[in-house]
Amino acid sequence: MKGELAMKVLAIETSCDETCAAITEGTNILSNVVWSQIDLHAEFGGVVPSIAKRAHEEKIDWVINRSIDNAKLTMDNVNAIAVTAGPGLAIALEVGIHKAKELAVKLNKPLIAVNHIEGHVLSSLVHQIDISFPAMALVVSGGHTELILIEAIGQYKIMARTIDDALGEALDKAARMLGLGYPGGAELEKAARMGNPQAYPLPLPMLGRENQNEFSYSGLKTAFWRLVNQFPVNQLTSQQIADLAACFQDRAFTHLTRVLKKTIYNLEPRTQNLLVGGGVAANSELRKRLSDLDKRINFPTKGLYGDNAAMVGIAAGFKADRGEFVKDINLIDRLPRWRIDQKIDW
Ligand code: KG4
Ligand code: ZN
């Protein structure tokens, strides 16, 4: 990226249940503000789109102003506005897009539309420049489980993806079956630390079919449901919860790394780096298992695993270098199912 010539980007992210704004300059983060809506959705056990939309509308100006203040800038110092245009919840994405358009017109600044998954893919690039391309990227979040070949920044091929649930979604559901909190991934990790992953027989997903370039978690979820239901309702001891959590997490991660190894090692040309992103990568057991792979692994820094706008700003910086600005502001619209390998000419 063009070092000190890099643009100062105001990035906005509202694709799910976090209202976020950040200021970035190249891969440097000048500020990164995240307003989490978790408490609003917790009682429903999942994200409620209409509640997310309303909360984004209420908080968006606050996170933007805070990101400008934290970066010790004024709106006039910003060179471009970036926004997540997809994938994500349509009515949540709309809030960020509407605000970004409004600011781009008012301040007469160029607009950059960013793919949320590209943000996660590039989230580990902060201060890390020793990456050789082609490289691989693994995105593991509540909505996505994708292994992506980065031919160059901006050029992506999806090498493997989930055919049903995302890894984070599966962990959340397993945690719920055990009566743990929401979102469950982090709670399941905590419980699993005290557990024995071999305590119960729980089959590995797609055993022997790891070369199909697919992840699958719904079968594991069903098997886990059957296992949990063998115990009397609401009478699990804390050791049983720990053992069950450890078993689920172990099979979920073993499946992930088995598919990963098959896909990566079958690949020509060989890649050296694996860039990891997404909320589930906050899990230390998963990070340990990934670190055992014969790869240079790039993890995001704390605060950049889950959804945030800094990763959107970083991706936007690369797009700005390539001149990929929105040509007609009236064309930009939310793309709830935007794939990272789909080029959109706005
Ligand atoms: O990237 P993210 O914040 O949002 C999406 O784009 O989906 O990821 C959220 C997911 C949730 O499923 C959450 O349970 C999971 O990341 N997660 C974890 C941990 N922290 C968050 N999963 C496992 N272990 C964790 N420590
Ligand atoms: Zn995400």
The count of other CB atoms within 10 Å of the CB of residue 214 is 17
Would you call 104 helix, strand, or coil by DSSP? helix
Structure tokens at 75: 């709106």
List the domain boundaries for the chain.
3-125+304-321, 135-298
The answer, yes or no, to whether residue 235 has pLDDT greater than 70, is yes
- Split at pLDDT 50, 70, 90, the class of 1 is low
CATH superfamily to which 3-125+304-321 belongs:
ATPase, nucleotide binding domain (3.30.420.40)
Which amino acid, 260? L
The number of C-alpha atoms within 13 Å of 31 and in the hemisphere containing its C-beta is: 24
Q: Given this model, what pLDDT does residue 4 score?
A: 46
Question: 8-13 and 18-25 as β-strands: parallel, antiparallel, unpaired?
Answer: antiparallel
Ligand 1 site, residue 280, Cβ cutoff 6 A: yes
Domains 3-125+304-321 and 135-298 share a fold: yes
Question: 145-152 and 155-162 as β-strands: parallel, antiparallel, unpaired?
Answer: antiparallel
Q: Pseudo-torsion of CA 263, 303, 218, 181, nearest 10°?
A: 160
Ligand 1 site, residue 84, Cβ cutoff 6 A: no
- Ligand 1 atom closest to residue 17's alpha carbon, by position in its atom list: 4
The answer, yes or no, to whether residue 233 has pLDDT greater than 80, is no
* Pick from 27-36, 56-65, 229-238: least confident: 229-238
CA of 316 from ligand 1 middle (Å) equals 23
- The set of residues, in sequence order, having a beta carbon less than 8 Å from that of 120 and lying 6+ positions away, is 139, 141, 144, 277, 278, 311
The answer, yes or no, to whether residue 194 has pLDDT greater than 90, is yes
Tens digits of per-residue pLDDT, 263-316? 988 887 788 899 999 999 999 999 999 998 888 899 999 899 999 999 999 999
* Pick from 21-35, 184-198, 281-295: least confident: 281-295
Pick the residue with more confidence: 193 or 1?
Answer: 193
The count of other CB atoms within 10 Å of the CB of residue 76 is 7
Tens digits of per-residue pLDDT, 94-107? 999 999 999 999 99
- Ligand 1 atom closest to residue 183's alpha carbon, by position in its atom list: 14
The answer, yes or no, to whether residue 7 has pLDDT greater than 90, is yes
Pick the residue with more confidence: 4 or 253?
Answer: 253
Q: Given this model, what pLDDT does residue 95 score?
A: 98
* pTM of this structure: 0.94
CA of 49 from ligand 2 middle (Å) equals 15
140 forms bridges with which residues in the sheet?
Answer: 145
- Ligand 1 atom closest to residue 307's alpha carbon, by position in its atom list: 3
Cβ atoms of 89 and 334 closer than 8 Å: no
Which amino acid, 67? S
The answer, yes or no, to whether residue 184 has pLDDT greater than 90, is yes
The CATH number given to 135-298 is: 3.30.420.40
The count of other CB atoms within 10 Å of the CB of residue 237 is 9
The string over 196-205, giving b where at least 16 C-beta atoms fall within 10 Å of a residue's C-beta and e elsewhere, is ebeebebebb
Mean pLDDT for the chain overall: 93
